């Protein structure tokens, strides 16, 4: 359906195929995993999360509350990520953040509630709605990769702002989450292709033997 209503989506789908799902638990650990991945490459985020998940099993607010900062740093967390995780712990333990109730709220309420926590911005809240809750029309207009992909496919002179990308994404309702997955897949495809070209050896000229 989405490919039928948008030539850009049709072109991407033909190039990348259906992207694999990216699912996070719809709870404290899922949101924590998204926080860990803020402003990091997928590979770096995955490596840090693997260490955290192994060190704290299960990954709960109480476990993080009991951990000291030096242990969290050794596992790869920056000072900023530690502050954000501790703020999330306080929101759960002291302020009564209930994920079961949160997960049934509207997108607007979820964004409002999560962005009230120190260190959590709209991107983190949007990614939680996308990948933890799996809502079909969720979108993350502040995501850099989505902005760059949209700039490329719509031949824009500059990278669109979150507000501009929000307007562009209106054409993909009510399946903006599907569009986001396709744009992310295409961005990754383009980066791999560019990296592959960069690694190719430069051919050298050879002198032909004289006849």
Res 199: pLDDT: 54
Fold of 28-132: Endonuclease III; domain 1 (1.10.340)
| pLDDT at residue 5 in the model | 83
Orientation of helix 176-199 relative to helix 144-153, angle to 10°: 80
Looking at residue 197, its pLDDT comes to: 58
Query: What pTM value is reported for the model?
Result: 0.89
Distance CA 137, CA 172 (A): 8
Give the whole-angstrom CA distance, residue 31 versus residue 124.
8
Percentages helix, strand, coil for the chain, rounded to the nearest 5? 65, 0, 35
What are the residue ranges of helices labelled H in 94-143? 99-102, 107-115, 122-127
The domain locations on the chain are: 28-132, 136-192
* The pLDDT of residue 116: 98
- The dihedral through the CA atoms of 114, 134, 43, 40 has a sign that is negative
The per-residue pLDDT for 155 is: 95
Q: State how far the Cα of 158 lies from the Cα of 183, in Å rounded to an integer.
A: 17
Burial of 52 per CB tally in 10 Å (0-12, 13-18, 19+): buried
Sign of the dihedral through C-alpha 92, 96, 102, 103: positive
Q: Give the pLDDT confidence score for residue 200 in this predicted structure.
A: 52
Ordered per-residue pLDDT tens for the chain, 211 residues: 788 889 999 999 999 888 877 789 999 999 999 999 998 988 899 999 999 999 999 999 999 999 999 999 999 999 999 999 999 999 999 999 999 999 999 999 999 999 999 999 999 999 999 999 999 999 999 999 999 999 999 999 999 999 999 999 999 999 999 999 999 999 988 887 766 655 555 454 444 443 3
Tokens standing for residue 66: 């009991």
């Amino acid at each position: 359906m989405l490919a039928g209503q948008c030539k850009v989506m049709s072109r991407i789908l033909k190039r990348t195929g259906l992207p694999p799902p990216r699912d996070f638990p719809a709870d404290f650990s899922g949101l924590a995993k998204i926080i860990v991945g803020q402003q990091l490459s997928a590979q770096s985020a995955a490596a840090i999360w693997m260490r955290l998940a192994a060190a704290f099993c299960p990954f709960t607010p109480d476990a993080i509350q009991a951990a000291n900062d030096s242990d969290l740093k050794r596992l790869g967390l920056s000072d900023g990520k530690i502050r954000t995780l501790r703020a999330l712990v306080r929101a759960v333990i002291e302020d009564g953040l209930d994920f079961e109730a949160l997960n049934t709220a509207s997108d607007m309420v979820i964004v409002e509630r999560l962005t009230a926590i120190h260190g959590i911005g709209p991107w983190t809240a949007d990614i939680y709605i996308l990948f933890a809750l799996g809502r079909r029309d969720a979108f993350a207009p502040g995501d850099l990769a989505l902005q760059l992909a949209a700039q490329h496919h719509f031949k824009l002179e500059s990278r669109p702002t979150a507000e501009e990308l929000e307007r562009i994404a209106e054409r993909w309702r009510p399946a903006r989450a599907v569009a986001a997955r396709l744009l992310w897949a295409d961005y990754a495809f383009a980066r791999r292709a560019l990296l592959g070209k960069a690694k190719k050896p430069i051919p050298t000229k050879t002198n032909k033997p004289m006849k």
